Amino acid sequence: MSTNQPYIAPLDPSRVAIIEKFGGKIIPLDPIGAEVHGIDLSSADTPPPDVVEALEHEMANRGFLVFKNEKQLEADDFLRASCWWGGKQLHSTHGIHPATPDRNRHIFRLSNDRRHGIPGVGPQWHNDGSFNTDTFSHSGYHIIRPAEKGGGTYFAHQGAAHDALPEERQEFWGRLSSVNSASGAVHPVVHVHPISGRKSIWLHLGMTGAVIEKLPDDDGFRLLDAEEMKQLCHEYNDILNAGLENGYAIAYEYQENDCVFIDNLAVAHRAAPEAHLPPEEQGLRIMHRSTVRGVQDLAPDFDLPVYINLNGPSPFGKGVWQAGGVGFRWDDGIPMQN
Ligand SMILES: [Fe+2]
């Protein structure tokens, strides 16, 4: 039983007015996200601070914004607009595909055809940059070529997903911290979103090497064992998937020239399964991703450090403690790739 109805904030009329005064239009998508029309991302000028703030707040509340562009943007326009948000500079840690325009190191080029971009990325729910202590504040997804037969991105609102959890799970998850398998960065499984103030769940389903539980009745910690990790990851997967039925997640299909910016602390995402089907079947898909520096550490509670060495012995006793690769495999039958 859920304790609360999952809540998605409607657009705030005063912010809508600020955006409209600047010549833009923001329209809610159902059930999460919003479309933005009339703001030219190819302009060299950043909109005034009140407009950027209004857009950034709505992105935090609704999860993501889709900028509808009349014409295809240049890579530089996309990257410049990425820096309107969060830490206001790019933080790029990925590989560079040879087909990337000018081999620009800030563009992560994805495709269902390996000649055009890196295939198979992000099939399970995750947030970008979880190997950093501050993660990425925002990510951009610029569709270069949508596949004819579709294959977009799923987004799920992590504040509403927390609402939807049973009270006893909220309490338990509130005592958990995840350890990133690639870096040892530690993040809370429940955090308070810095802009919306909403309690939000946060876990990477393809790069988690350990989960630490703060014991309820004393100052100690323990590790989840393999069975508990499986259960946690399945529950996390299920509660985000349930948003597709219960009004807090969306299967977003890109239209020509779309440029999506997400608040990476507010929504989890994963590639739609169709996004990874071969081009002969689905049509060719090419997308550019940008990633924006975090504003502050997504730091764990309970005085846990922001990094733990997963290659050393566990200070928390027995349990799953797995460095490297995709971390703990919580389901043998699913693709996992970062
Ligand atoms: Fe991603």
Burial class of 70 by CB neighbour count within 10 A (0 to 12, 13 to 18, 19+): exposed
298 Cα–ligand 1 center, Å:
17
Tokens 């040879």 correspond to 98
Q: In what order do the strands lie in the sheet with 221-223?
A: 186-188, 176-180, 208-214, 221-223
pLDDT of 86 over the 80 cut: yes
Q: For 243-294, how does the pLDDT look when each residue is reduced to its tens digit (9 = 90+)? A: 999 999 999 999 999 999 999 999 999 999 999 999 999 999 999 999 999 9
Instruction: Give the global pTM.
Output: 0.97
Domain extents for the chain? 13-151+253-293
Per-residue burial over 272-288, b = 16 or more CB atoms within 10 Å of its CB, e = otherwise: bebbbbebeebbbbbbb
pLDDT at site 217: 86
pLDDT of 82 over the 60 cut: yes
| Closest to 129 (Cα-Cα) out of 115, 140, 117 | 140
Length of the chain: 338
110 Cα–ligand 1 center, Å:
10
Burial class of 76 by CB neighbour count within 10 A (0 to 12, 13 to 18, 19+): middle
Q: For 187-201, how does the pLDDT look when each residue is reduced to its tens digit (9 = 90+)? A: 999 999 999 999 999
Query: Tokens for 293?
Result: 């520096």
**Percentage of the chain exceeding pLDDT 70:** 99
What CATH number labels 13-151+253-293? 3.60.130.10
315 Cα–ligand 1 center, Å:
30
Q: For 309-320, how does the pLDDT look when each residue is reduced to its tens digit (9 = 90+)? A: 999 999 999 999
128 Cα–ligand 1 center, Å:
5
Phi first, then psi, for residue 136 (nearest 5°) are -110, 140
